């Protein structure tokens, strides 16, 4: 597979050169997302960027799709890059890769690390004492290997100017559009986003969206209660009501939840109500007031407050993005 990110015309002189550093076993989504933003958009949109790929060992590289990509350039392509996108990597980058990225950063290139790519700027000390967006599955590994980095597995990206991090591959588009907005204004970024039919641009402080919570395997002792709660989400239910249903004290119930589910009972119930809210926002046109009643959050005001606290966005913005 030949990943062609340019147009058939010659690149205009002097564009901002963006180089994506890829590796064997590359996930293509962050690469194609970056190329979609920084590539050619036709004659009606000014071209401010050029985009290319490089690898430590150029040639045919395997991908997660089991379809190889052909990479023509080696690490020397980073010598004149103004933005380096580390689109995916192993947890232990080679000394040659670290030297090449370090040289690029030293001369002023912007380093953008996506998902596991964060381990390269972390290994170089570029994130020491700084907050970094990290995928929630990699947060513990990053903390263990690079304890001076401040991992944040809740937000979708963090931008320090010289170094930016995106926790998940799906945030690549948002982070790249954010760079375009910073360098060429909101109107230009919106034109590119509209052409790509992208969803509304998400700010970096917006929360990562892990999979919708499910009950998973229910502990035998709690299964009757959990099934009852899911069937009665719309009703006002207290911890005392839950304890009475099982015939135990509220303190015993809280201890059982902590031991078997890892969260207090009220937190478990709220997470299920928010999960139901997300599903209804994505799949229906119901007003927020109606959704609040259906999931047991009593009012639109309470739903919006709880939703914003948990996800750092509003129900309306969430619906626009995921409907």
Q: How do the pLDDT tens digits run along the chain, 323 residues long?
A: 544 444 434 444 578 999 999 999 998 989 999 999 999 888 888 899 999 999 999 999 999 888 899 999 999 999 999 999 998 777 788 999 999 999 999 999 999 999 999 999 999 999 999 999 998 888 889 999 999 999 988 778 899 999 999 988 888 888 898 888 888 876 687 778 777 765 444 554 444 554 444 444 444 578 889 889 988 999 999 999 999 999 999 999 998 888 777 778 999 899 889 888 888 887 789 999 999 999 999 999 999 999 999 888 899 988 887 66
Cβ contacts of residue 232 below 8 Å, gap of 6+?
A: 296
The residue behind tokens 């996800």 is 311
CA 174 vs CA 13, 78, 197, 258: distances in Å: 27, 23, 13, 37
pLDDT score recorded for residue 173: 87
| Residue 191 C-alpha from the chain's centroid | 23
Cα dihedral 138, 142, 143, 145 sign: positive
Cβ contacts of residue 227 below 8 Å, gap of 6+?
A: 218
On whether the CB atoms of residues 57 and 23 are closer than 8 A, the answer is no
Cβ contacts of residue 280 below 8 Å, gap of 6+?
A: 286, 291, 294, 295
CATH number of 223-322: 1.10.10.60
Q: What is the Cα–Cα distance from 22 to 63, expressed in whole angstroms?
A: 10
pLDDT score recorded for residue 87: 84
On whether the CB atoms of residues 98 and 123 are closer than 8 A, the answer is yes
Q: Domain-by-domain residue ranges, the chain?
A: 16-195, 223-322
DSSP string, 174-224: HHHHHHHHHHH-HHHHHHHHHHTTPPPPPPTTSBP-PPPP---SPPTTTHH
On whether the CB atoms of residues 213 and 182 are closer than 8 A, the answer is no
Q: What is the Cα–Cα distance from 206 to 316, expressed in whole angstroms?
A: 14
Q: What is the Cα–Cα distance from 88 to 123, expressed in whole angstroms?
A: 14
DSSP secondary structure code for residue 81 in this structure: -
pLDDT score recorded for residue 128: 96
pLDDT score recorded for residue 216: 43
DSSP string, 143-162: HHH-TTSEEESSBSEEE-SS
On whether the CB atoms of residues 290 and 283 are closer than 8 A, the answer is no
CATH number of 16-195: 3.40.50.880
Radius of gyration from C-alpha coordinates of the chain = 23
Tokens of 153: 């597995």
């Amino acid at each position: 597979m030949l990943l062609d990110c340019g147009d058939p015309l010659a690149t205009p002189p002097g564009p901002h050169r963006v180089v994506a550093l890829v590796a064997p076993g590359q996930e293509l989504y962050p690469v194609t997302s970056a190329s979609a933003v920084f590539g050619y958009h036709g004659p009606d949109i000014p071209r401010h960027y050029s985009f290319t790929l490089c690898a430590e060992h150029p040639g045919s590289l395997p991908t997660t799709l089991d379809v190889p990509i052909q990479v023509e350039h080696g690490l020397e392509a980073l010598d004149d890059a103004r933005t380096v996108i580390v689109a995916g990597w192993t947890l232990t980058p080679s000394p040659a890769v670290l030297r090449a990225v370090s040289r690029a950063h030293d001369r002023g290139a912007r380093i953008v690390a996506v998902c596991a790519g964060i381990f390269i700027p972390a290994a170089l000390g570029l994130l020491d004492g700084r907050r970094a967006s990290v995928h929630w599955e990699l947060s513990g590994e990053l903390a263990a290997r690079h304890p001076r980095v401040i991992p944040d597995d809740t937000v979708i990206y963090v931008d320090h100017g010289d170094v930016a991090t995106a926790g998940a591959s799906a945030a690549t588009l948002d982070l790249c559009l954010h760079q375009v907005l910073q360098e060429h204004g909101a109107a230009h970024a919106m034109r590119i986003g509209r052409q790509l039919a992208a969803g509304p641009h998400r700010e970096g402080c917006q929360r990562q969206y892990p999979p919708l919570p499910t009950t998973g395997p229910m502990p035998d002792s709690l299964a009757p209660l959990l099934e009852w709660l899911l069937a009665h989400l719309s009703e006002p239910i207290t911890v005392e009501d839950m304890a009475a249903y099982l015939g135990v004290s509220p303190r015993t119930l809280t201890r059982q939840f902590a031991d078997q589910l890892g969260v207090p009972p009220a937190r478990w119930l709220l997470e299920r109500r928010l999960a139901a809210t997300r599903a209804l926002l994505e799949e229906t046109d119901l007003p927020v007031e109606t959704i609040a009643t259906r999931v047991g959050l009593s009012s639109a005001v309470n739903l919006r407050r709880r939703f914003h606290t948990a996800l750092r966005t509003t129900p309306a913005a969430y619906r626009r993005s995921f409907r």
